[in-house]
Amino acid sequence: AQTVTQSQPEMSVQEAETVTLSCTYDTSENNYYLFWYKQPPSRQMILVIRQEAYKQQNATENRFSVNFQKAAKSFSLKISDSQLGDTAMYFCACRTNFGNEKLTFGTGTRLTIIP
Amino acid sequence: DAGVIQSPRHEVTEMGQEVTLRCKPISGHNSLFWYRQTMMRGLELLIYFNNNVPIDDSGMPEDRFSAKMPNASFSTLKIQPSEPRDSAVYFCASSSRGQDEQYFGPGTRLTVT
Protein backbone atom coordinates (compact mmCIF):
# COMPACT_ATOMS: atom_id res chain seq x y z
CA ALA A 1 0.00 0.00 0.00
CA GLN A 2 1.09 3.54 -0.69
CA THR A 3 0.73 6.58 1.52
CA VAL A 4 1.15 10.25 0.65
CA THR A 5 1.58 12.95 3.28
CA GLN A 6 1.21 16.70 2.86
CA SER A 7 2.06 18.38 6.14
CA GLN A 8 1.10 21.94 5.20
CA PRO A 9 -2.70 22.35 5.27
CA GLU A 10 -2.52 26.00 4.25
CA MET A 11 0.03 28.41 2.81
CA SER A 12 -0.04 31.94 1.53
CA VAL A 13 2.46 34.00 -0.41
CA GLN A 14 2.64 37.40 -2.04
CA GLU A 15 2.12 37.61 -5.76
CA ALA A 16 5.37 37.21 -7.76
CA GLU A 17 7.13 35.41 -4.92
CA THR A 18 8.27 31.79 -4.90
CA VAL A 19 6.57 29.13 -2.79
CA THR A 20 7.39 25.48 -2.11
CA LEU A 21 4.80 22.88 -1.19
CA SER A 22 5.98 19.74 0.60
CA CYS A 23 5.05 16.13 0.00
CA THR A 24 6.42 12.87 1.33
CA TYR A 25 5.32 9.42 0.28
CA ASP A 26 5.88 5.80 1.08
CA THR A 27 5.76 2.88 -1.30
CA SER A 28 7.36 -0.53 -1.48
CA GLU A 29 7.62 -0.31 -5.25
CA ASN A 30 10.80 0.67 -7.05
CA ASN A 31 9.07 2.04 -10.12
CA TYR A 32 6.31 4.56 -9.65
CA TYR A 33 5.02 7.94 -10.75
CA LEU A 34 4.45 11.07 -8.75
CA PHE A 35 2.07 13.88 -9.62
CA TRP A 36 0.95 17.28 -8.47
CA TYR A 37 -2.65 18.18 -9.22
CA LYS A 38 -4.22 21.59 -8.80
CA GLN A 39 -7.85 22.07 -7.79
CA PRO A 40 -9.03 25.69 -8.14
CA PRO A 41 -12.38 26.87 -6.75
CA SER A 42 -14.03 25.56 -9.92
CA ARG A 43 -13.34 22.09 -8.47
CA GLN A 44 -11.68 20.82 -11.66
CA MET A 45 -8.64 18.60 -11.04
CA ILE A 46 -5.79 19.80 -13.26
CA LEU A 47 -2.48 18.02 -13.69
CA VAL A 48 0.38 20.40 -12.93
CA ILE A 49 3.47 18.22 -13.24
CA ARG A 50 4.59 14.59 -13.18
CA GLN A 51 7.78 12.76 -12.28
CA GLU A 52 8.87 9.23 -13.08
CA ALA A 53 10.78 7.66 -10.21
CA TYR A 54 13.48 6.16 -12.40
CA LYS A 55 14.38 9.59 -13.80
CA GLN A 56 16.85 11.47 -11.65
CA GLN A 57 16.28 14.77 -13.40
CA ASN A 58 13.67 16.92 -11.72
CA ALA A 59 10.63 17.70 -13.87
CA THR A 60 9.91 21.29 -14.90
CA GLU A 61 6.83 22.85 -16.49
CA ASN A 62 7.20 26.59 -17.03
CA ARG A 63 6.95 28.20 -13.56
CA PHE A 64 6.45 24.84 -11.85
CA SER A 65 9.29 22.54 -10.87
CA VAL A 66 9.80 19.69 -8.46
CA ASN A 67 12.53 18.65 -6.08
CA PHE A 68 12.46 14.85 -6.18
CA GLN A 69 14.54 13.15 -3.49
CA LYS A 70 14.02 9.43 -4.02
CA ALA A 71 16.02 8.21 -1.04
CA ALA A 72 14.15 10.54 1.29
CA LYS A 73 10.83 9.82 -0.48
CA SER A 74 10.22 13.50 -0.85
CA PHE A 75 8.53 15.28 -3.75
CA SER A 76 8.12 19.03 -3.29
CA LEU A 77 6.57 21.48 -5.74
CA LYS A 78 8.09 24.90 -6.35
CA ILE A 79 6.02 27.65 -7.92
CA SER A 80 8.06 30.58 -9.17
CA ASP A 81 6.74 34.07 -9.91
CA SER A 82 3.42 33.12 -8.33
CA GLN A 83 0.25 34.49 -9.90
CA LEU A 84 -3.24 35.09 -8.58
CA GLY A 85 -4.47 32.22 -10.75
CA ASP A 86 -2.27 29.84 -8.78
CA THR A 87 -4.65 30.13 -5.83
CA ALA A 88 -6.00 26.59 -5.38
CA MET A 89 -5.76 23.34 -3.47
CA TYR A 90 -2.70 21.35 -4.48
CA PHE A 91 -2.65 17.58 -4.18
CA CYS A 92 0.37 15.32 -4.34
CA ALA A 93 -0.34 11.83 -5.69
CA CYS A 94 1.48 8.56 -6.32
CA ARG A 95 0.82 5.52 -8.48
CA THR A 96 2.84 2.41 -9.16
CA ASN A 97 4.23 1.55 -12.55
CA PHE A 98 2.87 -1.96 -12.62
CA GLY A 99 -0.45 -3.55 -11.96
CA ASN A 100 -2.79 -1.25 -10.11
CA GLU A 101 -3.14 2.14 -11.76
CA LYS A 102 -4.94 3.88 -8.93
CA LEU A 103 -3.73 7.22 -7.63
CA THR A 104 -3.15 7.66 -3.91
CA PHE A 105 -3.59 11.29 -2.90
CA GLY A 106 -2.33 13.39 -0.05
CA THR A 107 -4.70 15.55 1.97
CA GLY A 108 -3.84 18.68 0.03
CA THR A 109 -2.39 22.14 0.66
CA ARG A 110 -4.57 25.20 0.26
CA LEU A 111 -2.42 27.88 -1.39
CA THR A 112 -3.50 31.50 -1.46
CA ILE A 113 -1.69 34.08 -3.57
CA ILE A 114 -2.02 37.53 -2.04
CA PRO A 115 -2.17 40.50 -4.41
CA ASP B 1 -11.43 16.83 -27.40
CA ALA B 2 -14.33 17.37 -25.00
CA GLY B 3 -12.54 15.86 -22.04
CA VAL B 4 -14.18 13.61 -19.49
CA ILE B 5 -17.89 14.35 -19.24
CA GLN B 6 -19.88 13.81 -16.08
CA SER B 7 -23.56 14.24 -15.39
CA PRO B 8 -25.28 15.59 -13.52
CA ARG B 9 -23.01 18.34 -12.17
CA HIS B 10 -25.13 18.68 -9.06
CA GLU B 11 -27.56 16.25 -7.48
CA VAL B 12 -29.70 16.78 -4.43
CA THR B 13 -31.73 13.87 -3.21
CA GLU B 14 -33.43 12.57 -0.11
CA MET B 15 -32.15 9.76 2.02
CA GLY B 16 -33.26 6.39 0.73
CA GLN B 17 -33.48 7.42 -2.91
CA GLU B 18 -31.47 5.85 -5.70
CA VAL B 19 -28.78 8.01 -7.28
CA THR B 20 -27.04 7.36 -10.59
CA LEU B 21 -23.95 9.26 -11.65
CA ARG B 22 -22.75 9.07 -15.24
CA CYS B 23 -19.40 9.38 -16.94
CA LYS B 24 -18.17 9.48 -20.50
CA PRO B 25 -14.38 9.03 -20.72
CA ILE B 26 -12.13 10.61 -23.29
CA SER B 27 -12.42 8.76 -26.57
CA GLY B 28 -9.70 6.14 -26.94
CA HIS B 29 -8.95 5.91 -23.24
CA ASN B 30 -9.12 2.36 -21.89
CA SER B 31 -8.99 2.96 -18.14
CA LEU B 32 -11.74 4.65 -16.14
CA PHE B 33 -11.65 5.63 -12.48
CA TRP B 34 -14.27 6.74 -9.95
CA TYR B 35 -13.00 8.85 -7.04
CA ARG B 36 -14.85 10.40 -4.12
CA GLN B 37 -13.79 13.61 -2.38
CA THR B 38 -14.92 14.51 1.14
CA MET B 39 -13.55 16.82 3.78
CA MET B 40 -13.03 13.94 6.18
CA ARG B 41 -11.40 11.40 3.86
CA GLY B 42 -10.00 13.53 1.05
CA LEU B 43 -9.75 11.98 -2.41
CA GLU B 44 -10.12 8.23 -2.51
CA LEU B 45 -10.50 5.72 -5.29
CA LEU B 46 -13.77 3.83 -5.31
CA ILE B 47 -13.28 1.58 -8.32
CA TYR B 48 -11.46 1.46 -11.62
CA PHE B 49 -11.99 -0.34 -14.90
CA ASN B 50 -9.56 -1.40 -17.57
CA ASN B 51 -11.02 -2.29 -20.96
CA ASN B 52 -14.48 -2.19 -19.34
CA VAL B 53 -13.51 -4.80 -16.73
CA PRO B 54 -13.45 -3.85 -13.02
CA ILE B 55 -9.88 -4.21 -11.75
CA ASP B 56 -9.92 -2.77 -8.25
CA ASP B 57 -13.16 -2.19 -6.35
CA SER B 58 -11.64 -2.30 -2.89
CA GLY B 59 -12.61 1.30 -2.30
CA MET B 60 -16.34 0.76 -2.81
CA PRO B 61 -17.79 1.53 0.63
CA GLU B 62 -20.47 -1.11 0.83
CA ASP B 63 -23.10 -2.98 -1.08
CA ARG B 64 -25.14 0.16 -1.55
CA PHE B 65 -22.59 1.25 -4.15
CA SER B 66 -22.29 -0.36 -7.56
CA ALA B 67 -20.52 0.62 -10.77
CA LYS B 68 -20.82 -0.57 -14.32
CA MET B 69 -19.07 0.03 -17.59
CA PRO B 70 -21.20 -1.51 -20.33
CA ASN B 71 -18.99 -0.14 -23.11
CA ALA B 72 -15.83 1.85 -23.66
CA SER B 73 -17.63 5.19 -23.73
CA PHE B 74 -19.92 5.04 -20.72
CA SER B 75 -19.87 4.22 -17.02
CA THR B 76 -22.32 4.62 -14.14
CA LEU B 77 -21.94 4.76 -10.39
CA LYS B 78 -25.13 3.93 -8.53
CA ILE B 79 -25.97 4.40 -4.87
CA GLN B 80 -29.06 2.61 -3.59
CA PRO B 81 -30.30 3.52 -1.05
CA SER B 82 -28.49 6.82 -0.56
CA GLU B 83 -27.56 8.12 2.91
CA PRO B 84 -26.48 11.58 4.13
CA ARG B 85 -22.91 10.33 4.63
CA ASP B 86 -22.71 9.73 0.87
CA SER B 87 -22.70 13.49 0.33
CA ALA B 88 -19.48 14.27 -1.52
CA VAL B 89 -18.00 15.24 -4.85
CA TYR B 90 -17.64 12.26 -7.15
CA PHE B 91 -15.01 12.45 -9.87
CA CYS B 92 -14.59 10.30 -12.92
CA ALA B 93 -11.17 10.13 -14.59
CA SER B 94 -9.75 8.31 -17.59
CA SER B 95 -6.37 7.42 -19.03
CA SER B 96 -5.02 5.53 -22.00
CA ARG B 97 -2.60 2.64 -22.25
CA GLY B 98 0.96 3.76 -21.78
CA GLN B 99 -0.11 7.08 -20.33
CA ASP B 100 0.80 7.95 -16.79
CA GLU B 101 -1.59 10.73 -16.00
CA GLN B 102 -5.31 10.57 -15.45
CA TYR B 103 -7.66 13.21 -16.81
CA PHE B 104 -10.46 14.20 -14.51
CA GLY B 105 -14.01 15.23 -15.24
CA PRO B 106 -15.61 18.26 -13.56
CA GLY B 107 -17.14 16.14 -10.81
CA THR B 108 -20.68 15.63 -9.52
CA ARG B 109 -21.57 17.27 -6.23
CA LEU B 110 -24.00 14.97 -4.44
CA THR B 111 -26.03 16.14 -1.49
CA VAL B 112 -28.21 13.64 0.36
CA THR B 113 -30.62 15.20 2.83
Instruction: Report the DSSP pairing between strands A32-39 and A24-26.
Output: unpaired
Give the per-residue pLDDT at A101. 82
Chain segment A5-33, per-residue pLDDT in tens: 999 999 999 999 999 999 999 998 888 99
Is B55 in CB contact (< 8 Å) with chain A?
yes
Q: Which residues pair with A52 in a beta bridge?
A: A33
B15 touches chain A (CB under 8 A): no
Q: Is A33 in Cβ contact with B100 (below 8 Å)?
A: yes
Phi/psi for B20 (5° steps) reads -125, 120
Q: What pLDDT was estimated at residue B2?
A: 80
Q: Each residue of B16-41: pLDDT tens digit?
A: 999 999 999 999 999 999 999 998 88
Give the angle subtended at the CA of A106 by the CAs of B21 and A61, to the nearest 5°.
95
B77-90 tens-digit pLDDT: 999 999 999 999 99
Task: Note the pLDDT tens digit of each residue in B41-80.
Answer: 899 999 999 999 999 999 998 899 999 999 999 999 999 9
In contact, A72 and A26? CB cutoff 8 Å: no
Residue B32 amino acid letter: L
The nearest alpha carbon in chain B to A42 belongs to B106
B1: which residues sit within 8 A by CB, 6+ positions away?
A: B26, B27
Mutate to test the interface with B, among A2, A48, A103 (most CBs of B within 10 A): A103
> pLDDT category, B1, cuts 50, 70, 90?
low
